[in-house]
Amino acid sequence: MSAIPLPAEFTLQRKYTYDKSGPVRWIWSHAARYGWIITMLVIGAIGNAALAAWVPALTGQAFNAMIAPRPDTSVLLPLALIIGGSQIIRGVLQLGRNFGAELMAQKMERDIRDEMYLSLLGKSMTFHNLQPVGDTMARATNDVREINFMFSPGVNLVVGSFLFIVMPFLFAPRYHISLILTPTLFTIAYFIALRAYLKNLSPITDEVRATFGDMNTHLSEALDGVEIMKGAAQEVAEVDRFVTNARRVRNAFVRQGDIEARFLPFLLLGLAYAVGLVHALILFRMGLITVGAVVAYFGLLRMLDFPTFTSSFAYTQISLGVSSARRILELINRETNLDQNAAGYDKPMRGEIEFRDVCFEYNEGEKILENISFKVKPGQTVAIVGQTGAGKTSLVKLINRTYDAPCGEVFVDGVNVRDWNLASLRSQISMIEQDVFLFSRSLADNVAFGKPDATREEVEYAAKSAQADDFIQTFDKSYDTIIGERGVTLSGGQRQRIALARAFLTDPHILILDDSTSAIDSATEDKIQRAIANAAKGRTTIIITHRLSQIRWADLIIVLRKGRIAAMGSHDELMKASEAYSRIFRE
């Protein structure tokens, strides 16, 4: 298959496409790639069932030989050898069936994890802001694992058990055609009962998967905010919340178990034994079949054990797998308004920015920004100031299309950002936010995250420019030091300097600093200011800050108030003419 671009903002390509119109079709489109494994599974299942059905037939022959007026013991040894040899072959075929099912299950799990990971990375920030991380992790781990179990043992047992139902229809007529009556009645009743069972089970398995996702969401939030929780002494309250969620999961599993316990085919199997045996004995009394035929026929009826006793477990696994597939597919199919626009504008950036009557909202009807219009020339430094909640961060995230404005237009170099190739647009813009995210990797890898092919010399130069080299050298392993998850082993100021080094290394044409020096002490601030001033040369720089020392040297200052531009100009002009601006420094 040819590579097909991923229909989202992610810039990699997906090798295969799958039918996403429904969970069953989606699962089948994954499985259909491995036709040879399906063939191995089916051949193994057919051979296993046929050889299992051959044993009662051979046993019946042995009975007839022994109860004849003149017993013929000479047939026993050949029959025993045939039975032994056939069961060795059956074991090999059963191994092939089980191996094929397990191989299919593992390949499916791998492929679905890959597809889901690509999809999640391709979603817009609007999606990730609304989707709980814990629930996403539950779907990406436990739900994907349930699809594995759906194939092995689920589908494996269903295919095997179905063929065990078929064998009495193939072997019983050799004794008397009417002997297919009991298997026919059992099969009809079995599938009617199975249909009702699955209909009752499906919403319960949906609930099982959903409650597990809710529990995982709370657990993720509790662990992510454990410092806040402990600081507020809320451990007991959080434990109570988790116990409540865990109880909901348990109750869902109990309801699932209740439905499984009332699985009607268990009763049908007993009736089939009784009716079938009575039928065979009547035919024997009428002289229509032999004792060996009665024995063989009852042995064939005993084959119905396997589909009856495994089906409740196997079909539960399939129902859980379909429920999990539905949850995964719902996440994959969730629409994102951003696309990578691979054929879009892709040229080196000059750094000109223009907003024309731009508005923005996270929730429909709740405007965060409204009627925003301004223009920034290439190489200018712009300071955006305003009280908390004025929309400063939301504004700058429209430039690199972290979000798209629902109304108005944003231009970079005179080209609407929607018309830019997304990868090209973002690769030339670097943003350092208040909450700096660092990965649980080495310091060098964190600095080089935006430019993984950077040399060690380039990494060290960027770190020195960001005033980060001094504290990095204090660690035993220097740049090879592995930091904790999210960089918790570093102070706030150290994390921000690593983020600055990361930005310097990528050499962006537009540099956005979202209060990125808020955690830097006064002794370091002068050095950072010089570093930022050097970094700003030749590139457009946007600074969100309340520090007067940073605002003073901006070419243009934009004052935001309640999502609107209250004033624009230089520092001296605004101090004289703008009450909103001067109030910021008085408060």
d(CA 466, CA 532): 8
Residue of 186, 194, 150, 148 lying closest to 169 (CA atoms)? 186
What does the domain layout of the chain look like in residue ranges? Answer: 4-333, 353-586
Question: Looking up tokens 């930091």, which residue turns up?
Answer: 483
Do you find a cis peptide bond into 153, omega within 30 degrees of 0? Answer: yes
Alpha-carbon distance of 334 to 350, in angstroms, equals 35
CB neighbours (10 Å) of residue 230? 11
Q: Which helix (H) or strand (E) holds 510?
A: strand 510-514
| Token pair belonging to 186 | 């059992």
Closest CA to 501 of 554, 430, 551: 430
Is the domain defined by 353-586 classed in CATH 3.40.50.300? yes
**Rounded Cα–Cα distance for residues 221 and 217 (Å):** 6
Tens digit of pLDDT per residue, the chain (587 long)? 333 344 444 544 566 778 888 899 999 999 998 999 999 999 999 999 999 999 998 888 888 888 877 777 788 888 889 989 989 999 999 899 999 999 999 999 999 988 888 888 777 766 777 777 778 888 888 889 889 999 988 899 889 889 999 999 999 999 999 999 999 999 999 999 888 888 888 888 888 888 888 888 887 777 777 767 767 677 787 788 888 888 998 998 888 888 877 778 888 888 999 999 999 999 999 989 899 899 999 999 999 988 888 877 888 888 888 888 988 998 888 766 666 777 888 888 998 999 999 999 877 767 889 999 999 999 888 988 887 778 888 899 899 888 888 889 999 999 999 898 888 888 888 888 777 778 878 888 888 887 888 888 888 888 888 778 888 888 888 888 888 655 666 777 778 788 888 888 887 889 888 876 655 566 666 666 666 666 667 789 888 877 776 777 788 888 888 888 888 888 878 887 777 777 766 65
Q: Look-up: residue for tokens 């000059």?
A: 350
CB 386 within 8 A of CB 559: yes
What residue has token string 């006064």? 522
Point out which residues pair with 542 in neighbouring strands: 382, 512
Query: Could you tell me which residues come within 8 angstroms of residue 335 by beta carbon, excluding any fewer than 6 positions away?
Result: none
> Strand 407-412 vs strand 353-361: parallel, antiparallel, or unpaired?
antiparallel
The third-level CATH classification (topology) of the domain covering 4-333 is ABC transporter transmembrane region fold (1.20.1560)
